[in-house]
Amino acid sequence: MTFSNRISPGSIRHSFQNFTAKAVKNKRGLTVAAAAVVAVSAVVTPVVVSNAYAEPAKQAAGPLSEVVKGSPIAPMALQHTAAQDSFDALAVAQITEQQVQGRADVTQLDSAIAALKSNYSSDSTTLHKLTVAADNAVTTANKAAVEHDAAVAAAQKAAAEAAAKAAAEAAAAAAALAQVNTPDGARSYAQSTMASSYGWGGDQFSCLNSLWNRESGWNYQAYNPSGATGIPQALPGSKMASVGTDWATDAATQIKWGLGYIAGSYGTPCGAWSHSQSYNWY
């Protein structure tokens, strides 16, 4: 049987008001009436408290009247108020526990809920302490849930920014590759690389341009039946793997290997071009 099936806050308040009125008229009946209040309060147990109960319960309880405060039943009225507050705290704690699952540690909430359920008939002082503990547990759980949500949002934002940055870098790399893989792009890359890596100027580039125009037309996909491959016509093409595994698809890798080969074998592009003019190969 649920709490709402046993007795409603409205009926408790109505009975309590009737009792107070009668107590004013007949003070000799206070003892009997007090016993009746105890009997009514005894059946109110916080087995299940619905979400809609909390606020009506607070309104139904109301402040103690001056008559009740000065009467022998004041302790029972105080007990009744403490019980109502504990029921409210239990309802809020149970709802909060459901809402923050997976977003906060509910250990403190579980303990507070269990304590309220097992001490609903305790004295008002104990109920007050349990109610305060439950309220504190709710505050702590809600704060933890908010912090969890903020951390998740920050992580998602960081991941999105990192993904966007990676995508932008990949797009830039793809654009650069597409550019260098054109004959004009390959020439531009070769001229800047030979200047920065070997100190060769425009005269040496003129020789290089003539050499690789003859060998491949600056086409990174050039292939000779002999097995010579790419812009520098490496034989075999797999030699260029010493510079990069992308030697078959990236003109920049081929150019780096070709410049290194020329420097090691002929000293300069003009030396390689001179040899090519004499022997038709280099």
State yes or no: pLDDT of 281 exceeds 60. yes
Residue 209 pLDDT level (bands cut at 50, 70, 90): very high
Contacts of 251 by beta carbon, 8 Å cutoff, 6+ apart:
180, 181, 185, 186, 189, 218, 220, 230, 231
Alpha carbons within 13 angstroms on the beta-carbon side of residue 68 total 22
Residue 75 pLDDT level (bands cut at 50, 70, 90): low
State the average pLDDT over residues 85-109. 96
On average, the pLDDT of the chain sits at 81
Question: Domain ranges in the chain?
Answer: 3-149, 183-279
Residue 74 pLDDT level (bands cut at 50, 70, 90): low
Alpha carbons within 13 angstroms on the beta-carbon side of residue 187 total 16
Closest CA to 60 of 84, 24, 26, 37: 84
Model pLDDT for residues 102-156, shown as the tens digit of each residue: 999 999 999 999 999 998 778 999 999 999 999 999 999 999 999 999 999 999 9
Model pLDDT for residues 152-203, shown as the tens digit of each residue: 999 999 999 999 999 999 999 999 999 999 999 999 999 999 999 999 999 9
Q: What percent of the chain has pLDDT over 90?
A: 69
Residue 64 pLDDT level (bands cut at 50, 70, 90): very low
The helix/strand/coil state of 223 is strand
State yes or no: pLDDT of 79 exceeds 90. no
Q: What is the pLDDT of residue 105?
A: 97
Of residues 39 and 262, more confidence is placed in 262
State the average pLDDT over residues 3-21. 42
Backbone angles phi, psi at 234, to 5 degrees: -65, 140
Q: Tokens 């990236």 identify what position?
A: 250
Closest CA to 120 of 92, 93, 96, 87: 87
Of residues 30 and 168, more confidence is placed in 168
Residue 22 pLDDT level (bands cut at 50, 70, 90): very low
Q: How many C-beta atoms surround the C-beta of residue 42 within 10 A?
A: 9
